[in-house]
Amino acid sequence: MKREQLKGLELSDEQIDKILSINGADIEKAKGSAGTDLESIQKENETLKSQIADRDKDLKALKKQAGDNEDLNQKYSELQDKYKTETEKLTHEVQQTKLNSALDTTLTGAKVRNTKAAKALLDMDKVKLNDKGELEGVSEQLDALKKSDAYLFDEGTKGGYDPKGGKGSDDNNEVNTMVDVFKN
């Protein structure tokens, strides 16, 4: 509002001064409250920007941790598979060792002269170790081997076989040395 506008309304100078002073006070009051409001809005704006920046940092950190979790989960799964495979392998090796030990004991008990040769002739697919630690499928195969390959088994000495001249130097009718053979 300007003084010329008020004079155009045919107001006195005294009235114009009062109106302008009231208007000036209102303008100052508006400036003061607007300034305070502007400062609070600016502070609030800065606070919100700071909060957004903090949230962005937190989200990036969370995303990184989530990525690490995926890597950790994958590594955990790989290790589980590896340990499962190794456990199965070791269990199989232990079972095989038990089987071989029981087979060696059985072959020794059957008086096999060469266990390696006897094992080579056995069908190992039919040989199993049961839960009690006993071999199954071996006795039948050993009986068959005794018939087909008796030389693998130590049958001991057989009685009734007495070769001539087998008594050594007590036999006077026999030649004792090779020199005596050629003398005659």
CA dist 105 and 93 (Å) reads 18
What single-letter DSSP state applies at residue 151?
G
| Residue range 48-77: mean pLDDT, rounded | 83
**Six token digits for residue 77:** 């799964």
Put simply, whether the predicted model's pTM sits higher than 0.75 gets the answer no
Q: Using CB atoms within 10 A of its CB, is residue 8 exposed (0-12), middle (13-18) or buried (19+)?
A: exposed
CA dist 66 and 59 (Å) reads 10
156 has a pLDDT exceeding 80: no
Residue 13: predicted pLDDT: 85
pLDDT band at 24 (very low <50, low <70, confident <90, very high): confident
> Could you tell me if 133 and 99 are in contact, meaning their C-beta atoms sit under 8 angstroms apart?
no
Mean pLDDT of the chain: 80
Q: Using CB atoms within 10 A of its CB, is residue 118 exposed (0-12), middle (13-18) or buried (19+)?
A: buried
> Could you tell me if 127 and 135 are in contact, meaning their C-beta atoms sit under 8 angstroms apart?
yes
Residue with tokens 């009685």: 159
CA dist 104 and 114 (Å) reads 10
Q: Provide the residue count of the chain.
A: 184
